[in-house]
Structure 1
């Protein structure tokens, strides 16, 4: 069992725009939709020998302004896991590796470069990080964790949504959960150096703000933002939208809400789903199908849903990866080059296993392939 931010206990039920769903526990031996393809990071791989990316997590893929794929990594070390040894172990977050290889290729994802590096060499973090100290805004910051990325070919600009982590063990009525201080946006105009904007979507004192962990998907002039609470708590999933060129203007975000008789935009947000969600990932596939993935914290499984549009009804959960396949998993980030059809859904899945006394035994990202 993984504690603090990797905890996955709770229950999930769907309400609002989606049909009610009460998922069942998946037993050992039950056939699963997705299969393991390869491990992408580790001390024994070229991610370490080339860029000193050994122990790391997340691997959130998004399309860069040049059409290739950036993979956002969270807390990253040059040792196999966060506690070393040895120490110090070059803690960085976030870090980006890049690839132009289609994930469906026989060899899967192969990284070819790292942001802020010319060729091989240490991959530095993309933006300022307080690292258990005073952050860029004068507030205590444990670390900066990326949630998603998006790019705009019209301007060459990239944006990263992130959380400033206040602590990993925030007490509460449902037990300890990690707590973000706020969600923020950072931008880059050169694809390497990201600047944290002054914009902050503040968490509250009870750690229940539902706009902390963002995933973003553009469709035409609009960017759709799905968000949940930090800490993998019970709570709602919210949906907002904003014009792509107005992301830096909080007053321009429109909520998707229920007014008692119908759903519509420009209203206070109404939950589109409720449950205990891990980090969400939403992508629009080439044929117009929308796919959502997240860790179901009741079952410990990575699941997906599909819909005809961001504000349409989402299907019931489909199990993609179970904790029997990959113990202590989390993430489940959808590759934007995924497609409908058998074995065309590509997921980046994190794993962090530890012994009862807290010593890590695995901390890495793997690629899984399934069907939406």
Structure 2
């Protein structure tokens, strides 16, 4: 997620997980002792057609979501036409966010295959989807380092797509135990043509101490509501919160309902109470076709991408299950769930980023791969 600020998470991490609090307040067990997912293919890179067709070489994230036409959009963060952020050469066409698209099922023998890019007719340079300050001034007149996507969602009723994003204030790391970056605010952008996204004036401001738990969003619709799971920016210790809002009221902050504990029971329409606590990376939540909800994130304490499941967004989540370890993919992060995954054996598809660097900070890999596991 971005340039010049990630430590090599999990370089010598042991496999294990901290306990966490579930949506009914019970303490959950520790993670399963072995990884479940296996590497399937690398999706991006200077040597692949993502570069030769759309100049998407070094990039990360690859957040998949269903578009209004039923195919899949993949949101990438800081993107370059060189293998990694620092080049060479420079300048290296820094863009964020960028979207590639695919109608291919990730479970096909060849895995994910991209067929187009947003804002491009056929082959050609894939431009960024929305305004980005790029170490200058953002669209609202505030300093902005970059814009990083959190998740996407679409609404077939209107043909509209919505992206949640962070406006990054700085990448100043507070050390291994502290935040690795600070967002200025979380925001929403929309598109009515599937290509050009407009950043709305809505802002969920971060606190001066970087502790606001509503900065990194993942969104999943179920019926009339969109359920929003969120954590602090910077992969730091803190709570995970749950809110919901009617799908047609997404741009009305007063319509968001918190899921909270009042000392007796859980309910909607209350101040948010943490549903989980831990040191979370970017969260990803998807509802599978059989109704199972799956959550994934980087556990920043052990350096593994893990998943949990629940029968509903406001139900208790299972213990963590390790999907990808740092031994499989050094310096990993992400782990975004493909919405066409299922509960069938070996049909959980995760987009996992890798950014490896030498001790003096020179990159040796910066790309996205597809991993396949099971829930």
Q: How does 1:143-222 map to 2 (within 5 A)?
A: 143-169=146-172, 171=174, 174-175=177-178, 177-222=180-225
Determine if contact 2:31/2:321 at 8 Å carries over to the other structure. no
Counterparts in 2 of 1:300-339, with a 5 A limit? 300-339=303-342
Partner of 1:116: 119
Q: Return the TM-score normalized by structure 2.
A: 0.95
Unaligned runs of 5+ in 1: none
Aligned partner of 2:27 in structure 1 is: 20
Distance in 2 (CA, whole Å) between partners of 1:167 and 1:307 is: 35
The 1:6–1:20 alpha-carbon spacing in structure 2 relative to 1, beyond 3 Å, is farther
CA RMSD after TM alignment: 1.8
Residues 82-136 of structure 1 show CA distances to partners (whole Å, capped at 9, x for unaligned) of: 0000000000000000000000000000000000000000000000000001111
Distance in 2 (alpha carbons) for counterparts of 1:224 and 1:352:
30
TM-score computed with the length of structure 1 as normaliser: 0.95
Q: Deviations over 1:155-203 (max 9, x none)?
A: 0000000000000015489545200000000000000000000000000
- Contact 2:137/2:143, CA 8 A, preserved across alignment: yes
Superposition deviation, residue 17 in structure 1: 1.7
| 2: CA distance, partners of 1:350 / 1:23 | 24
Kindly report structure 1 stretches of 4+ aligned residues shifted beyond 3 Å. Answer: 2-12, 21-26, 170-176
Give the whole-Å Cα distance in 1 for the aligned partners of 2:176 and 2:50. 41
Pairing 1:87–2:94 present: no
Residues 170 and 206 of structure 1: CA distance in aligned 2, closer, same or farther (over 3 Å): farther
Displacement of 1:5 after TM fit? 3.9
In the superposition, relative to structure 1, how do residues 309 and 183 fare at CA in structure 2: closer, same or farther (>3 Å)? Answer: same
Counterpart CA distance in 2 for 1:70 and 1:97 is 6
Task: Describe the shift of the 1:23–1:311 C-alpha distance in structure 2 as closer, same or farther (beyond 3 A).
Answer: same
Equivalent in the alignment of 2:289: 286
Contact 2:63 2:336 in 1 (8 A): yes
Contact 2:4 2:171 in 1 (8 A): no
The CA distance in 1 between the partners of 2:176 and 2:359, in whole Å, is 24
Q: For residues 180 and 303 of structure 2, what CA distance do their matches in structure 1 show?
A: 16
The 2-side partners of 1:178 and 1:216 are apart by 22
Q: What corresponds to 1:139 in structure 2?
A: 142
Which residue is 2:36 aligned to? 33
Q: Is the 8 A contact 1:132 1:140 kept in 2?
A: yes
Structure 2 segments unaligned to the other structure (5+ residues): none
- Residues 293, 311 of structure 2: 8 Å contact kept: yes
Residue 20 of structure 1, CA deviation: 1.9
- Residue of structure 1 aligned with 2:348, choices 345, 350, 354: 345
Distance (Å, rounded) in 1 between the aligned partners of 2:19 and 2:201 = 35
Task: Name the CA shift for 1:3/1:314 in 2 (closer, same or farther; >3 Å).
Answer: farther
Q: CA distance change for structure 1 residues 296 and 175 in 2, over 3 Å: closer, same or farther?
A: closer
Query: Which residue in the other structure is 2:74 paired with?
Result: 71
